A and B are shown apart, each in its own frame.
Chain A
Amino acid sequence: MPRNEKAIRVLTSSTNTRELARAAQELAASADADDQAALGAALRNSALQARLDPPDADYAGAEDLNIARPLRTLAGNRSPLARGTLTTLINDATFTEDPDRFDLLLRATATWRPPDPVVVAFWRRAMDPDDVHFQIAVAVATENATEPAVAFFESCLRDARYDDETKISWMRRPLLMHRVEEPFLKMSERLLSTGPPAPLARPLQAALVEALFDFKQEEWYPPHSPPVPPRWTATTPAGRDILRRIAAYARNTLGPGAELETAIKAVVTQLDAIDGTRPR
């Protein structure tokens, strides 16, 4: 017996978009198997999709759609049943053929920690460089910030299908936003080390070091795009050691110019100050 019959009835019959969205959210928040099953079936139903978001309704992008609301609630519901509903939707080719629903599902996986292999596979499906989803997939994976997500991000940075400009933009935004977190610092070290796998090409190595150490607000970003770099005080002792190793590698191997050299030195000085040690 479904726990929330009223919500299920609304989904079956209502044409009031707000009422429909609310009912769908009630089911999405539920920990009841029948509620989740009913929701999964309803969201995959094209008639309900059309009642929830009539094609002629005002439209301001994917996140403005009413169907975004139950997906958002599902993302916040950590129960395995809710995750199961998301998996059902991910595996439904008809549901994901719509670019908006695809993007909304991607966004719903940002808080799935650690991500299920199904989720990582879904991110990989999004990585067609000629399509419109790969930037969202990278943003979602870096927000997820777990080891599998960072591994996925690393694979993107190594992927030959993307040009250097795209990879540098990933270094200057999602990586920079996480520059104090150990998984991202370990990844950065792997991308610079001799491998295997092979390190990044030298110009990309230099760009990576620059992104970590020498934030250039007005040179790198249009007015609305600069991220706010996290403070170095948020690093762990192990993270600071990785940063020092990266700094040493850059100085010894990459031949940084005077500007980058100065920036690296300034950051290392800050790291040393955090540790209460003398400059090395």
Chain B
Amino acid sequence: MATPTRQLRFAFHRLTFRSGAGIRGRTDVAIEIQVDGTYVNNPYDLPIQVRPRATVDIDALGWAGELDAADRTDVIPVRVLARFDEPGNTNAIGEITRNIAWPFQPRHFRDTVAGFIVDWEIVHVEDPNVPPPVGAAVCREDADGGVMYSTVGPTAPTRVVIAMHDVIPVPPQERAPTLPRFPRGTPAAFTDHRAYTAAQLSGGAINMIENPACIPIMPSGTTLDDSNCSRFRITYYRPRTLAFAEDDARLEWNIVSLADGGDAAFHGRSTGTKIALHGVARGEIGLECRFLDTLVAQYRVMVEPLVKVPCRFTELHGSTNPRQRALRARFGPARMQGHLKFANQFLWQLGLQLEPDTDASVGWLPRGVAAANVQPVAGQDGFFTAIVPRGWTAGFDPSVRRASAVNSREWVVNFAYVASAVLAGMVVYGEAQSFETSGGNVTDNGTPSTSWISPSGVRPAAEAREHKMRIFATLPHPTLAHRFALYVTNANPDDFFAAGTVAHEFGHALGLMHRLEWPGLRSCGVQYPWNENLMHRENPTTISQDLDIIQARAVRRSPLVTHWAAPPPPPPPPPPPPIVGP
């Protein structure tokens, strides 16, 4: 029998700076990473230039450490330090130290301090000379807690765990379930937990983001196809030697109605690690995955009609001179359209879409601004440019000047792209200035729990509990009714970040609060996941992408959503009277 390998690889993937770093513009930083007291990189390399909330792709820099831990039982310290690296300023931004205890299990980490988040993992480097076990043949359910076993190889049974997590990117602590424990020597897991990149989404379909909280029911008459289904994928299985294929017939899915008669239909096959569905009837459904006739994974999702919410995007310029960049919104209609597409990819998770307003009439304007100052962009419904006094696009306090209402119409989501807003001590990327909500609380109860909040109900975890989430109170415009007014500033460093701002602020307009709020401020009451939810108070779009089932439930109460939702179908006609024979 081969000796289990103890060669460990410490792979560092990404480091994302947070507002606590105090980075306000282009800044040189240094990152120092040590494993067991040894640098995995040269900290005296050239400094890295970053912008606020930038993500440093450490994978691309190739910083990783390997360690032979065969004779180690003591802890292995891992240290990540980020600091400024500028003339006159080499202050520390933050430092993370973790002491990894024996037996050094493969794990993912997303460690967070005020200044940054670092994604890294421990990987067991497997000995290429040890042949992997053969694939599973038989599977059964354990009587005391649902632990799955499959007969692997000729001798002992091996456990099997399969999961389809509803948060993507999957929170690190749940990428590799700690229970049940696998016997030593079990091949590592297959994981598919990564966040979507800007490049993936920009080239992807509107329904690209998998494992959504809601499957939309398409309007009647819509041809159901690849472009309007909801996609799901397995995020974890161990052992990876099971080598499931996307269309693997060993994984069989079925749909169960959980509440209110919810129903959906498979789009294409119902087997494999990736499946797709269309919504059929509103309610809540469960997706059950069976491996060799045994339930191995479950997923809970709402089914609701697709709601298209009209929106308009207006660039506010305080100067007609393009050189006056400080007084002009910077992105331009083509890039703003890209933001809308990205945002709709995120919103597909809720069964919502923003749709450009086809009404080209000029909306509300501040006193002194003529309607002629607002021009629709040729050939682009819902997109406008406007010339406004400079204080309506630059340097305003969002509590006072509601620039986001410029060119707004009732019940139409209004995105004003502005140059800059000012809040003491903050870089301002965007804000939802006016919106109407249902207020109150929303509750969710089911298995798995929303975002798999512990206990998730996914065996062997304990039964899921009910969760309650607060919804924002209405923040009305002082003089205008039914405004859903938001702005986006030039400070958004790139299009992906700006798109995240668009989707995040729209979330506020629907009543969603921050998933994780600053200490000392009132929060929504649901404090998990810590980093991956789109409504995180500050994380960039590279991490915060998910919207979960309690949020999907909350937005269905928004007056904006109910306003644009198609009226419920009329009740079915009474059955015809029985035909009585002569």
Contacts and interface: CB of A to CB of B under 8 A. Distances in A.
A257 to B, nearest CB: 19
Contact of A169 (B327, B389, B400): B400
B88 A64 contact: no
Contact of A130 (B391, B420, B518, B522): B391
A138 B399 CA distance: 15
A109 interface: no
Contacts, number: 156
A131 B518 CA distance: 32
B489 A61 contact: yes
B540 to A, nearest CB: 13
B87 A26 contact: yes
A143 B395 contact: no
B64 interface: no
Interface string A43-56: 00000000000010
A132 B395 contact: yes
A259 interface: no
A120 interface: no
Task: Assign chain B's interface to a size class.
Answer: 35 or more
Interface in B408-428: 419-420, 422-428
**From B87, B433, B513, B518, residue with most partner A Cβ within 10 Å:** B87
B87 A25 contact: yes
A138 B424 CA distance: 8
Nearest to B25: A63
Given A61-B419, A77-B88, A169-B400, A68 B424 contact: no
A177 B472 CA distance: 23
B439 to A, nearest CB: 10
A99 B399 contact: no
Nearest to B489: A61
B293 interface: no
B312 interface: no
Nearest to B475: A222
Contact of B424 (A61, A76, A139, A221): A139
Given A60-B330, A217-B521, A130 B389 contact: yes
B89 to A, nearest CB: 6
Contact of A69 (B86, B324, B400, B419): B86
B472 A218 contact: yes
B521 A132 contact: no
Contacts of A220: 399
A240 interface: no
Contacts of A98: 326
A190 interface: no
A223 B508 CA distance: 7
A145 to B, nearest CB: 11
Contacts of A143: 424-425
Contacts of A174: 424
A9 to B, nearest CB: 16
Nearest to A221: B399
A134 B397 CA distance: 10
B514 interface: yes
B518 A218 contact: no
Contacts of A173: 397, 399, 423-424
Nearest to A138: B424
B184 interface: no
B192 interface: no
B320 to A, nearest CB: 15
Given A29-B86, A60-B51, A227-B425, 12 more contacts: A59-B490, A61-B491, A62-B420, A68-B24, A73-B87, A99-B326, A134-B395, A138-B424, A177-B424, A177-B425, A221-B399, A225-B431
The 10 closest A-B pairs by CB, nearest first: A29-B88, A132-B395, A63-B25, A139-B424, A99-B326, A29-B87, A135-B422, A132-B394, A228-B520, A25-B87
